[in-house]
Structures are given as C-alpha cells and as structure tokens.
Amino acid sequence: MKNRELFEEAKGYLVGGVNSPVRAVKPYPFFTAKGRGCVLVDVEGKEYIDYCLAYGPLILGHAYPDVVEKVGEQLERGSAYGTPTLLEVEFAKKVVEHVPCAEMVRFVNTGTEATMAAVRLARGYTGRKKILKFEGAFHGAHDSVLVKAGSGATTQGVPTSKGIPSEAAKNTLLAPFNDKDSVEKILKKNDVACIIAEPVMGNAGCILPAEGYLKFLREITAEYGALLIFDEVITGFRLGLGGAQEYYNVTPDVTTLGKILGGGLPIGAVVGKREIMEHFSPLGKVYQAGTFNGNPLSMTAGYTTIQVLETSPVYEKVNSLGESIRKGVEEIIEDLGLSIKVYGIASMFQMYFTEEDVVDYSSALRADKDTFMEFQRGLLREGIFLPPSQYECNFISYAHDDRAIETTITTMEEVLRELK
Ligand SMILES: *Cc1c(COP(=O)(O)O)cnc(C)c1O
C-alpha cells in the first residue's frame, strides 16, 4: 500500500483525510502501520526515528513492554465500568505525591477537557468571568481558549475558529508571554478569574520562560485574587515527576495534565488545592462529568508509565540525549555559519530559522517557517520524523539511544548543507 494512494482514499471518508488537522501534511502524510521503541514504520515499510512521539505522550517510546502487558491484562478484566475503582485511587495518590500543587485530582479524557474544566473551576471559584492566556499558547480546542490577540490596542481576544461566538472570546484576554507589564495592566483593569499558562510554551515551538517570569505570575495572581493555572499537559511528567512547577519551583493553584499522564492512552486531569478542587461536582457547584473519566485502560497505562518513571533512570537518559542533540545541532549551525536558534529543556527541543531570540509568539512567527518545513521534509525523506510544523515541539523518549541521536545529528547536517 502506498501513502499517496491511501491519502487519496482517506480524503473520501475523513475530512481532509485525517482526524486532526496537523496530520494533513502536504502533499500527503505517511500512514503509520506500527510503532516500536523510537521508530515508526509506515504502510510502505519505511522506518522513521520518531521525535513527534504522538505529540508528546510517549516518554517511554512506542509499545513499552510493561505498559503493553498491564493494559492487556486490564483489557481482559474489562475496559469501562461506570463505577469507581481501586486503580483510580492509587493513581490519584501517585499524582498527589509527585505534583506539588496537587492535593486532589479529577481525571478526564483529554487535555482539552482538562483545561475546559479548569477554566470553569476558576470562574466558579472566583465568581469572575474573564481569563488571561498568552499569545500562541494552546490549551486544547474549546471556545474560551481558541482565541488570538485582537488587533490594535485591545487585549481582548478574537476567535481563531469560525463557529466561536465573539461573545465567548471576549472574556479571554491576551498578553505576550514573558511580558510583565501587559499582564499587570490587564489584571489592574479587569476582574480576572485565572491566568492559564504553559510554563514552557510547547505549541509555538519551544519557548522558555524568562528568569523569574513564572514566579512573577504566581505573585501577581495572588495579589489580584486570580487563580494561577499551569497547563502542564506537555511539561507534566516531561520535565520530571513534578513537572515544570517542580523544575522552576513555582506552585500554581491548579494544574492541567494529559499526554504522558495517560502512558499513550487518552487522558486528562485537573489537579489542585483541595479547597479549590472541592468546588467540582459532586461536592461543589462546578459541574464536571464524563462516561470515560478514570477509565481503567488509561489508568493502567498511566500508572504503569509513572511506575517506570519512578524506578528507571528515564529522566537522566532522555535529558542527557536532549542535551546531546541540542549541542550537536548548535555545532553544525556554527560550522555552517547558519542563522538558526535552538531552544529546549530536558527532553524537548525546537529550531527556528532566525537570527533573533525567540521569547514569545510574535518572535516565533517572524522565524522562517518555510525553510523549517523544507528541513522537516528533508529529514523525513532520510527517515527522521519531526512534527510537521514549526510550531510544534520535538520530544525524546526512553527508547531513543546514542545511536539514534547520532544518526539524527548527521542527517540534520546533510539536510542543512543541502538547504544552504
Ligand atoms: C496537547 C495539549 C492540550 C490538549 O490536549 P488534548 O489531549 O489534545 O485535548 C492542552 N494543552 C497543552 C499545553 C497541550 O500541549
């Protein structure tokens, strides 16, 4: 079977041939037949070293043996019960043990659901309508966060999608990341229920918080009576067991988790201080519910993954490989005299074809994304899969090794030489 032909057929049945827009790569995407370790194999039998890792969840790589075994066993005992289980309690305990702000947990099914519930919780708890998010931050695909900066002097957001009423977007205010003044001005002028922030922006490439910025967000939200929500759907269990809040030593009121938390199965979670979390139904008046919340397959995959993260040297390995790849690419860039910026932390990295520092969404937008895509396609041809967008982040898993990283660096050098 050929990728090109399968894409033609897919377009007849699936909108754009895909089920999530980033997958609709031009001229056609590859269709995966299987994944194992750090490798994806497509329907033509071609192999790729995978730095997309399903856009973040697979910190142990594809089909990690313990996860496969435990999920298989659980499947035989049933895949959904509609009743509470021991497993949910044990898994929640683990999350509380590791994530600094977590005193209680609500498991949901996706990161989108988690941020939707967290924003509702913040509004219900504070009795305020407005929320503040950062330009270029992604918090899933629901109305109050699919919002971009308005034009001119306004901080008020406009929808990034048709079908979202401007009334819904008008309660979402926007500030540039790493900018203190804008945040302060907005909080001064408006009653804001919460600031929701990706502590490391992973949906505009990879943008790090400036020194002291997260601490500033912590202090200013406390001062103005707004909640601080860290959206750690990417950074949770990626920067360490305690996520970015542990790494940067800044504890938010509420955190959203997803991706790695589910060990490769669908999941999301809202966690936070008890006093706030108890506003969720059934205790409180902020409604949240879901047929598959806490489903035993996701619980099992997530729990097993976190056990591995606790007991194996996963972070040492992936962080050191992250360091190697960032250093390796920087050396090539210097040798070839190219204007490319490399950013990253732990096992995350991204490159921007630009001379200026990338500190927020607008500087990310000024980088040359067309050259990035040529680079991405060049690597793909040679069997290296980076997510097909300048505005995604590359990840490394426990299944990657020195050889995979070396091959990748060598291939990057060849492709960059060609582009030059
Ligand atoms: C992926 C992501 C989400 C959405 O999670 P889904 O499971 O895709 O709904 C939310 N926030 C951030 C920071 C993400 O990276």
Tens-digit pLDDT profile for residues 76-112:
999 999 999 999 999 999 999 999 999 999 999 999 9
Cα 5 to ligand 1 centroid, rounded to whole Å: 31
Q: What is the DSSP letter of 255?
A: E
Q: How confident is the model at residue 300 (pLDDT cuts 50, 70, 90)?
A: very high
Which of 238, 159, 221, 136 shows the shortest CA–CA distance to 186?
221
Cα 198 to ligand 1 centroid, rounded to whole Å: 10
- Average pLDDT (282-302) is 98
**What SS3 class is residue 230?**
strand
**How many Cα atoms are found within 13 Å in the side-chain-facing hemisphere of 326?**
21
Q: Which residue's CA is minimally distant from atom 6 of ligand 1?
A: 111
Does the predicted TM-score (pTM) go above 0.95? yes
How large a percentage of the chain has pLDDT more than 70? 99
Q: What is the pLDDT of residue 396?
A: 98
Q: Tell me which amino acid residue 107 is.
A: F
Is the predicted pLDDT of residue 64 greater than 60, yes or no?
yes
d(CA 397, CA 204): 21
Ligand 1: list residues with CB < 6 Å.
110-112, 115, 138-140, 198, 202-203, 231, 233-234, 258, 268
Cα 204 to ligand 1 centroid, rounded to whole Å: 13
CA 4 to chain centre: 29
Report pLDDT digits (tens) over 8-24: 999 999 999 999 999 99
**What SS3 class is residue 265?**
coil
- Average pLDDT (215-224) is 98
Q: What is the pLDDT of residue 152?
A: 60
Nearest atom in ligand 1 to 111's CA: 5
d(CA 290, CA 206): 32
Nearest atom in ligand 1 to 113's CA: 9
Q: Which of 234, 235, 350 has the most ligand 1 atoms within 8 A of CB, as the residue to mutate?
A: 234
Q: Which residue's CA is minimally distant from atom 14 of ligand 1?
A: 233
Every domain of the chain and the residues it spans: 1-50, 65-311, 313-379+397-420
Q: How confident is the model at residue 289 (pLDDT cuts 50, 70, 90)?
A: very high
Q: Which of 52, 113, 115 has the most ligand 1 atoms within 8 A of CB, as the residue to mutate?
A: 115
> CATH number of the domain at 313-379+397-420, out of 3.40.50.620, 3.90.1150.10, 3.20.20.100, 2.120.10.30?
3.90.1150.10
Cα 420 to ligand 1 centroid, rounded to whole Å: 35
Mean pLDDT (the chain) is: 97
217: Cβ–Cβ under 8 A, 6 or more apart, which residues? 183, 195, 197, 228, 250
Q: Residue 395: enclosing H or E segment and its boundaries?
A: strand 394-395
Residue 200 token pair: 């490391």
Please answer whether residues 138 and 387 qualify as being in contact, where contact means their C-beta atoms are separated by less than 8 angstroms: no
| Cβ-based neighbour number of residue 181 at 10 Å | 9
Q: Could you give the dihedral angle defined by the CA atoms of residues 310, 316, 318 and 321, in that order, rounded to the nearest 10 degrees? A: -170
d(CA 61, CA 309): 12
Please answer whether residues 277 and 107 qualify as being in contact, where contact means their C-beta atoms are separated by less than 8 angstroms: no
Report pLDDT digits (tens) over 168-219: 999 999 999 999 999 999 999 999 999 999 999 999 999 999 999 999 999 9
Cα 331 to ligand 1 centroid, rounded to whole Å: 32
Q: What is the pLDDT of residue 273?
A: 98
Which of 398, 208, 219 shows the shortest CA–CA distance to 322?
398
Is the predicted pLDDT of residue 150 greater than 90, yes or no?
no
Residue with tokens 């377009």: 11
d(CA 299, CA 305): 10
65-311: CATH architecture: 3-Layer(aba) Sandwich (3.40)
